[in-house]
């Protein structure tokens, strides 16, 4: 049995993943703004330090990290906060616990991208580029002149690219740490409840096609994350796995 760290575990996909891993007999250390083992704000440098220190105080070896904490790109949401929580808050946890992941031997991190990267047009490429340079101030500046709707998929694209680029390096795959990402579609959580209530964007909530004709459940994403954390996925490195009921496949068919 292993020890897993999950941020954003007070709600939605993070909560479902924590519940599934506990059912499987693992130890789970949760990080969130509330209702968590480690209460920390991942949007700030101090909160990120507190989060990593709080985990280290509980364990020396971590078998998996799943940074689920994130905020949606909705009307009225601060686009700079989207950058800081979704990209830099996620990486702070994965990078901050790299030594503990290596210490566990044969460990894994699963990052939360999104199918908005391929399915939502017009995202802010400047934000994504600054994220990938590790330039939080630059990414926040680029985001400030945009809006949260165009910034959200940019942060998720940056997470996907980061996962692919970093996963094959000596410090990750070479140290026995597999990095992968999931790209969920529309999943019924507090985040998408917020989308449905959004005065401008609410009408688009059910606009994306699904081959299953329904939104996903957080437990369905948790099951995929659990697979990517487990030995059953031992050959999978640097993958971004769509978990979206076929939305991306419908919108991007192969052309003969």
Burial class (CB within 10 angstroms; exposed 0-12, middle 13-18, buried 19+) of 199: exposed
For ligand NAD, which is the closer residue by CB, 5 or 104?
5
State the minimum distance, in angstroms, from the CB of residue 181 to ligand NAD. 10
Spatial separation of the C-alpha atoms in residues 62 and 65, rounded to whole Å: 7
Interface with ligand NAD (CB under 6 A), residue from 53, 125, 190, 203: 190
Spatial separation of the C-alpha atoms in residues 106 and 82, rounded to whole Å: 32
State the minimum distance, in angstroms, from the CB of residue 101 to ligand NAD. 19
Longest dimension (CA), the chain: 55
Spatial separation of the C-alpha atoms in residues 37 and 51, rounded to whole Å: 10
Q: Is the C-alpha dihedral spanning 218, 224, 158, 254 positive or negative?
A: negative
Say whether 152 is catalytic: yes
Stretch touching ligand NAD by CB under 6 A, among 66-74, 162-170, 226-234, 245-253: 66-74
State the minimum distance, in angstroms, from the CB of residue 251 to ligand NAD. 15
Q: What angle do CA 61, 67, 73 make, to 5 degrees?
A: 170
Q: Is 127 in the site for ligand NAD (CB under 6 A)?
A: no
Q: Is 96 in the site for ligand NAD (CB under 6 A)?
A: no
For ligand NAD, which is the closer residue by CB, 117 or 142?
117
Interface with ligand NAD (CB under 6 A), residue from 74, 83, 85, 222: 85
Q: Is 69 in the site for ligand NAD (CB under 6 A)?
A: yes
CA quadruple 27, 32, 34, 38: dihedral, nearest 10: 50
Stretch touching ligand NAD by CB under 6 A, among 128-136, 180-188, 204-212, 229-237: 180-188
Q: Is 191 in the site for ligand NAD (CB under 6 A)?
A: yes
Spatial separation of the C-alpha atoms in residues 207 and 37, rounded to whole Å: 37
The residue ranges that bind ligand NAD (CB under 6 A) are 7-8, 10-14, 32-33, 41-43, 68-71, 85, 89, 112, 114, 184, 186-187, 189-192
Residues serving a catalytic function are 152
């Amino acid at each position: 049995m292993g020890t897993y760290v999950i941020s954003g575990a007070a709600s939605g996909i993070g909560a479902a993943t924590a519940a599934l891993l506990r059912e499987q007999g693992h130890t789970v250390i949760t990080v969130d703004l509330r209702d968590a083992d480690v209460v920390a704000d991942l949007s700030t440098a101090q909160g990120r330090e507190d989060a990593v220190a709080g985990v280290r105080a509980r364990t020396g070896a971590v078998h998996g990290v799943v940074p689920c904490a994130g905020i949606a790109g909705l009307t009225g949401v601060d686009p700079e906060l989207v950058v800081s929580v979704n990209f830099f808050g996620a990486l702070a946890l994965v990078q901050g616990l790299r030594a503990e992941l290596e210490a566990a031997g044969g460990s894994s991190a699963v990052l939360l991208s999104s199918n908005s990267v391929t399915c939502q047009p017009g995202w802010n490429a400047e934000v994504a580029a600054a994220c990938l340079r590790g330039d939080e101030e630059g990414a926040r500046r680029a985001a400030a002149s945009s809006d949260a709707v165009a910034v959200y998929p940019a942060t998720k694209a940056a997470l996907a690219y980061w996962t692919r680029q970093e996963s094959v390096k000596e410090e990750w795959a070479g140290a026995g740490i597999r990095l992968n990402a999931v790209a969920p579609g529309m999943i019924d959580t507090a985040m998408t409840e917020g989308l449905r209530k959004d005065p401008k964007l609410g009408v688009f909530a059910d606009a994306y096609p699904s081959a299953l004709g329904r939104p996903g459940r957080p437990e369905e994403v948790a099951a995929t994350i659990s697979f990517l954390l487990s030995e059953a996925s031992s050959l999978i490195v640097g993958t971004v796995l769509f978990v979206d009921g076929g939305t991306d496949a419908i919108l991007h068919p192969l052309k003969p």
